[in-house]
Chain A
Amino acid sequence: MIDAFSPFVAWRYLLTRRINLLAVFGVTFAVWAILLVDSVFTGFVSQIRQDVRSSACDLMVTDLPHDAGYERLAAAIAGVEGVAATAPRLRHHGLLLPARQRRTGIADQGSSQVDFDHTQNGFALLVGIDPEREAAVSGLRRWLDRGPDELAQRYPGDFWRSPVLDGADAGRRARMGMPDEDEWRARRRAGLPHEARSEDQRGAWPGVLFGWQRVRQLGWFPRSEPFDVVCASFTGGDGSAALHTHSLRVGFAGCFATGSRAVDEGMVLLPIETLRTMLGQDAADPASVDVVTDVAVRLRDGLSSAAVATTAAAIRARVQAALPAGAGPCLVADWQQQNETFLSAVAHEQGMMQFVLFVVMLVAAFVIYATLHMMVVQKVKDIGILAAIGGSPRSVGGVFLVSGLAVALVGTALGLLAGVLSAWNLNAANEWMFANFQLELFPRRLFDLREVPCRLEPSWIATVAAGAIALAVIVAAVPSRQAARMHPVLCLSRE
């Protein structure tokens, strides 16, 4: 315990020595920077995780053999405790080429042209889905709501919501077909064969859904715009491999937004039967296989992480048993495992950022040490005086420890206040900076964000405050100990 004079003298020193303001400023700046930068980063990470989560299903069964049939796998999975629904997915790479010259004046691009946006060249990850089943396992309905919203937030125009899930005709829903009249208009626009009257037109094109990022970069949004989907497959494998290309006309049936840029840029959804047929598994052929590359699984709500892991293991065991003999091991991944590399890279980046911010705090702590050490050197005589009046070494050292603590408390309080206010007003400040100086502190367009995501975690605020104070006390303990160990007689005789 320290004597009463320690806080009294410390307070007088702090009030009369302006150099202490430097230490207070150092702590304030460090705490402010840590709170603000980390809150933005936490907001980004939180947003990214949310987007990734909304773009992924609960579990994905993948690494399946090329001839895996969906119905057999679905039957095997359906018996597992905790499974609510399943849906087939068929992934394949392909090209999408507009069937008519675009009005923008940009000529159709060949696949050999360099395009770092990956969408103007027509390459796409084709994902065949069963719309009804897909809507039961993923956020497909929500994605279709969000797609036009994302475009409407940024551009003027009529960004209609895709009707492919809502029609009364089950056959039309299965092929994601647009209304007949839309196809009639599209055919007429493109100069393709069409009936004389719209009422006589029967829609034949399967629908395709684009991610909103792809639509944005294409720059148009007409209903049932015709496209040719091209994909390739190999036959053979015994040294006589042959490449087969398959082409099919489809109609643009709307856009979706999952929140994940990679998905919204690169993925194109189309009916799974359409893709199967293109790849040689014609649904009309009784000998064809209902081939899938993945099975998306939705779990019952409220399952714990442990229960999810148990369910995943059970599904893996059942699916493996249902696969043909000699099939390689399948993989069952939860939403985090499906995006493991990306999520761990983001987490690692946040860790690195926190380390850099910790170094900022260390610099502030060093400033505290330097000012207190200087104070001890300058106040040697006072140390002798206090000892002569009856101050114990611990209390004499306490003067400098309390000084460091006071600097930390004041600096931390100011830093917390500044950090919280900055975080709350970050978007307003960003707008103001841009409006007045054309300067954008946080370029939202770079990340396709409507506003800078900023998230202050109370636990992080408490950790920063406690860490700043603890660090300041630790560094203040060094000059404090130095003062406590000084010999009073030598101090008094110091000129």
Chain B
Amino acid sequence: MTPAALEAVAVTKHYRLGRQEIPVLRGIDLAVAAGESVALLGASGAGKSTLLHVLGLLDAPSGGEVRYDGRRVDDLPVRERAALRHRHVGFVFQFYHLIPELTALQNVQLARMMAISPLAYWRGRKQARAEAEAMLARVGLQERMRHRPAELSGGERQRVAIARALLARPRALLADEPTGNLDSHTASGVVELMFEVARQDGLALLLVTHDEELARRCKRTVRMKDGRVVG
């Protein structure tokens, strides 16, 4: 049996507020296989985004394990976790999170500059640029490459974010309410794009959303409440 691209095993997470310990995740078990799309539903404060961050190695679990392709990864040194985050997962956020000083092309190219020395990047810079241009063309932004985020619409910004997430050819795409800041027409286009690239590239897609309609487009829906999976 092929191990899951992303897996949480009995993951717990709590935060400290003075002497008080506030549990956010209470023993989550979740696996997302390559090519599978999973919607994570739940009310605000259910722990969806925290789980996404823990699975994306942006945050460390308080207990349990995070596994990529069956290998435990949450206990790796910080630099290796960063490199793995770059290679294995791509993030798409509600607020796009693009760097305002960079053009669309430069924001996407940024994903090629991770876990590589300046000299090594300099040697392969032409290829990196060509790949970034191709990725922007793939998300339909070939005419907007030289524009900065402030000169792009919300939908275009999210497409740039998707292109950036995909450039390093990750095994999983983690999207945290990717349409939460878009109108319905634009959101529809962005969702179409995400599902299409996930299908084409065989990505494990984990989608945090409040939108039931969007959740229904995923192969599987996981509901969370008070830090637990409830269905």
A residues contacting B by CB (< 8 A) are 1-9, 12-13, 16-17, 381-382, 384-395, 487-489, 492
Contacts and interface: CB of A to CB of B under 8 A. Distances in A.
Contacts of B79: 392-394
Interface stretch (B65-73, B96-104, B134-142, B196-204): B96-104
Contact of A382 (B58, B99, B116, B121): B99
A4 B118 contact: yes
A12 B98 contact: no
Contacts of B78: 392-393
Contacts of A488: 58-59
A7 B99 contact: no
Interface residues of B, number: 33
A489 B164 contact: no
A384 B83 CA distance: 15
B114 A3 contact: yes
B87 A13 contact: no
A388 B101 contact: no
A3 B91 contact: no
B117 A5 contact: no
B145 interface: no
B82 A4 contact: no
Interface in B73-93: 78-79, 82-83, 85-87, 91, 93
A12 B101 CA distance: 7
B22 interface: no
B120 interface: yes
A45 to B, nearest CB: 44
B115 A3 contact: yes
B110 interface: yes
Contact of B118 (A7, A16, A489): A7
Contacts of B93: 388, 492
Contacts of B59: 487-489
Interface in B98-129: 98-99, 101-102, 106, 110-118, 120-122
B86 A389 contact: yes
A2 B98 CA distance: 21
Nearest to B167: A389
B56 interface: yes
Contacts of A392: 78-79, 82-83, 115
A7 to B, nearest CB: 6
B53 A489 contact: yes
A6 B87 CA distance: 18
A177 B111 CA distance: 93
Nearest to B91: A388
A353 B99 CA distance: 45
A382 B93 CA distance: 13
A17 B99 CA distance: 13
A17 B100 CA distance: 12
A395 B114 CA distance: 9
Contact of A2 (B53, B110, B118): B118
Contacts of B98: 385
